[in-house]
């Protein structure tokens, strides 16, 4: 599944690299462009895979259709179909547990605590809530155990705390999965939300699952499968780089004991650069449909929403509307900030502005904004813990909205850009 996608996309192809800093150096130099490395310690590696273009291509749609497709699919997530394919087991090779140190798991930056799994989708199951799939950074320790950064208030954290007193919790980590699985695993929903069914709905076809050998789980078909047990033991995790490209703190986090390692023949390992564009896309893209639905309830003429790469696809957004009344721009600002509480800055533009072109957005700000009337500033709001400039102790930040839409009071004729006719007169 992943191999077919790799063969079909435009990419930078390199012969070899080292696990320690070599992979990350290459991914950093080619940030935003898919990279395929033929040999890293005897394995093949793909990185910078999930761009908007590649995700759309993997789903069989155009990039411009991606937002609409996600919004529609979120409303029909339960229609996804999961199939356990027992024939897939024969396509996997069993490795000894010591092989974890031979896998091409990168050490990305100079102060990292060690090699990190960054693209692994973690699968757990609860008898009441069902299956949960989510992405977490996972440190590979010298003794072959793992440490997972488990974010509070997330479903994995909830399932872990609910079940750990009864004993170790079965888990599996899948690496090298279809982009739909990565996108779904990055999407937040309520406890009934089934990420794997959502992935199937995004793909418009059944998602094939593989039965694990040492834990009671079925997982999406992947290049690598790591089976294990989440334990009560807590050990140091970090330091490690977060989405802003700055270091996160060291915390005590749960230890995972590996029970099985399995991989495809000639498996391709997916290395996801922390703080790179792929990291930002996978964090931000799933938020956009939620923002779209929230803003549309307030401004029905909403056209599109994008969390910007310069804003780490988390802290800044651009919203496109077909302005009908003079207050629409400011209403869209307030609705956007409410729909994505981590949002710090939002710019609202008319639908003639390309929200994916920062120069076009800056043009709107430069020619359609008066700072004393078109900028909204909110002080003392709850912000994102990922913003290093915020008041981290009290978790407060200042938020700003820019209404960069054309003034209806002045008249749109003053703002319309000249166009060259398509045909000679």
Ramachandran bin of 266, using left for φ above 0, alpha for ψ from -120 to 50, beta for the remaining angles: left
Q: Which of 229, 205, 207 is CA-nearest to residue 217?
A: 229
E strand map for 58-113: 82-84, 92-95
Of 291, 406, 308, 284, give the one whose Cα is nearest residue 356. Answer: 308
DSSP 169-235: EEEEEEES--HHHHHHHT----TT--HHHHHHHHHTSPEEEEE-SSSS-EEE--SEEEEEEEEEEEE
Which residues are annotated as catalytic?
Answer: 242
Report how far apart, in Å, the C-alpha atoms of 107 and of each of 21, 87, 256, 320 are: 6, 35, 19, 39
Three-state secondary structure call for residue 42: coil
CA torsion 361-367-368-370 (nearest 10°) is 120
Respond yes or no on whether the N-terminal peptide bond of residue 384 is cis (omega within 30° of 0).
no
Containing H/E element for 257?
strand 251-264
Distance of CA 183 to the CA centre of its chain: 6
Cα separation, 396 vs 381, in Å, equals 5
């Amino acid at each position: 599944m992943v191999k077919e996608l790799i063969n079909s996309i435009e990419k930078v192809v390199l012969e070899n690299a080292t696990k320690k800093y070599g992979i990350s150096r290459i991914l950093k130099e080619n940030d935003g462009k898919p990279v395929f490395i033929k040999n890293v310690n005897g394995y093949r590696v793909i990185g910078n895979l999930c761009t908007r273009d590649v995700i759309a291509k993997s789903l069989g749609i155009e990039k411009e259709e991606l937002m609409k497709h996600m919004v529609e699919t979120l409303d029909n997530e339960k229609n996804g179909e999961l199939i356990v394919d027992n024939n897939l087991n024969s396509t996997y090779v069993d490795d000894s547990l010591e092989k974890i140190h031979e896998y091409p798991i990168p050490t990305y930056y100079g102060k990292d605590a060690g090699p990190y799994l960054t693209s692994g989708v973690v699968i757990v199951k609860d008898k009441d809530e069902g299956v949960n799939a989510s992405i977490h950074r996972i440190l590979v320790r010298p003794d072959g155990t793992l440490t997972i950064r488990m974010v509070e208030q997330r479903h994995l954290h909830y399932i872990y705390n609910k079940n750990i007193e009864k004993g170790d919790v079965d888990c599996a980590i899948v690496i090298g999965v279809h982009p739909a699985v990565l996108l779904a695993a990055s999407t937040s929903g309520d406890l009934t939300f089934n990420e794997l069914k959502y992935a199937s709905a995004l793909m418009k076809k059944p998602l094939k699952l593989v039965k694990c050998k040492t834990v009671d789980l079925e997982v999406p078909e992947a290049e690598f499968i790591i089976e294990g047990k989440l334990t009560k033991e807590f050990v140091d995790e970090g330091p490690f780089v977060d989405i802003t490209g700055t270091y996160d703190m060291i915390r005590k986090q749960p230890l995972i004991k590996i029970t099985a390692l399995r991989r495809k023949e000639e498996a391709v390992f997916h290395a996801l650069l922390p703080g790179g564009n792929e990291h930002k896309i996978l964090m931000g893209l799933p938020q956009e449909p939620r923002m779209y639905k929230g803003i549309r309830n307030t401004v029905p003429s909403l056209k599109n929403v994008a969390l910007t790469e310069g804003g780490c696809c988390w802290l800044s957004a651009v919203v496109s509307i077909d302005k009908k009344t003079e207050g629409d721009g400011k209403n869209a600002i307030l609705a956007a900030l409410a729909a994505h509480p981590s949002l710090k800055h939002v710019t609202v533009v008319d639908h003639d502005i390309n929200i994916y072109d920062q120069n076009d957005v800056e043009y709107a700000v430069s020619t359609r904004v008066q700072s004393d009337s078109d900028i909204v500033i909110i002080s003392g709001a709850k912000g994102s813990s990922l913003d290093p400039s915020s008041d981290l102790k009290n978790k407060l930040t200042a938020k700003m909205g820019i209404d960069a839409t054309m003034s209806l009071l002045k008249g749109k004729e003053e703002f319309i850009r000249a166009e060259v006719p398509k045909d000679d007169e």
